[in-house]
Amino acid sequence: MPRPQTDRFQPAGKRKSRPKTDYRTRQPAHEYELEVLPGLEHVAATELATVPLARDIRGLRFWFPGDPERLTRLRSALAAYRIRAWDVPRPRGLLGNQQLGELTDFLRQVIAVGGHTSFRLGAAGKESSVMQRLAEELENALEIPFRPEDGQLLIRLRPEQDGPGWEVLARTTPKPLSARPWRECNMHGGLNATLAYATHKLAGQRDVDRIFNPMCGSGTLLIERDLLGPCDALVGVDIEQSAVDCAKTNIAAAGRNIEVARIDALQTGLSARSFDLIVADLPWGDAVGTHGGNAALYPAFLQEMHRLLSRQGRLAVITHEIRLFEGLLEGSTQWNARELLQVASGGHNPKVYLLNRR
């Protein structure tokens, strides 16, 4: 049997003078969970707290009676999954007639909203005969093909967290939320957009900021900032023409108007104290740049950004060259620095720092 879907949002029976409630609170709620880059949990929890009608929030798990489309607008999450639990001791129990019917209904509801055209399974032992049978049954029932490598509807199975059964998580969108619709140009070493969003939220968002993004690459930090709201100026540069072209493609796809140019960030010719916020995703020394090159680039970068930053300005830096960067900050007479976060992203563990002029 599936766990009864506790609908905690039905208003009590009709009263004479019932206060006005949002009609969505009378719709059945579903349970969801957000997936995030490890390290971004607190940023996602803060964003989730702003979603109207999200209730009974436990970490990144919550009940929501509203339009699931609202969840696709979350910018710190890799994905949102709808969850349902079944009282079965093993996944094999999901192959029973009743359970399979309920599972199919549950997945059909997710497909009706997301428009997925194929599916895949994500579970320990997904090569097992039980999982293969489950895939066959679902292929027949859902009438979309099973594509083990790149199916759009990712169905995850795992033991129930607070009970004896198993729960099924279905990704609500065909692509991860981190694959932004504006990303038409992908650059090797491009930043995960959820990390770009988190960096801006933690570095602080002010309408009066004049913002510089040296080494902008494909424009991730620029676009994510522009989508957050107004600022006084937003400018990006990169030394590679291909990166500038890539950023321009993505900016146009996002429908934004952001200035980017092919300029060496260390030789911009701009006057001192031109910016209130500088946000930089520096070369990490593997996909982009070399460790040897970074040993010269990083100190020169810190020196020039100190010149370009206003007295009360902030410098946010994302890097995987942790030893090099922290070595430069140690005993620095120019900068006060603190670590904002460290994430696991694409096999790397970059850190984000916030620096102020001493």
Site residues, ligand SAM (CB under 6 A)? 187, 189-191, 214-215, 217-218, 220-221, 237-240, 243, 264-266, 281, 283-284, 288
Question: Exposed e or buried b for every residue in 153-191, given b needs 16+ CB within 10 A?
Answer: bbbbbeeeeeeebbbbbbbbbbebbbebebbebebeebb
CB within 8 Å of 146: residues ≥ 6 apart: 118, 119, 120, 121, 135, 136, 138, 139
Nearest to 232 by CA among 214, 255, 211: 211
What distance in Å separates the CA atoms of residue 211 and residue 198, rounded to the nearest whole number?
16
Nearer to ligand SAM, 289 or 327 (CB): 289
Nearer to ligand SAM, 243 or 302 (CB): 243
Nearer to ligand SAM, 67 or 264 (CB): 264
Taking the complex as a whole, the smallest distance from the CB of residue 323 to ligand SAM amounts, in Å, to 17
Taking the complex as a whole, the smallest distance from the CB of residue 265 to ligand SAM amounts, in Å, to 4
Indicate the residue whose CB is closest to ligand SAM. Answer: 217
Nearer to ligand SAM, 111 or 355 (CB): 355
Taking the complex as a whole, the smallest distance from the CB of residue 318 to ligand SAM amounts, in Å, to 8
Beta-strand runs (E) in the chain: 30-35, 55-58, 61-64, 79-86, 119-122, 153-159, 166-171, 210-214, 233-238, 259-262, 275-281, 309-319, 335-342, 351-357
Nearer to ligand SAM, 87 or 245 (CB): 245
What residues form DSSP beta bridges with 238? Answer: 262
Taking the complex as a whole, the smallest distance from the CB of residue 247 to ligand SAM amounts, in Å, to 7
Taking the complex as a whole, the smallest distance from the CB of residue 333 to ligand SAM amounts, in Å, to 23
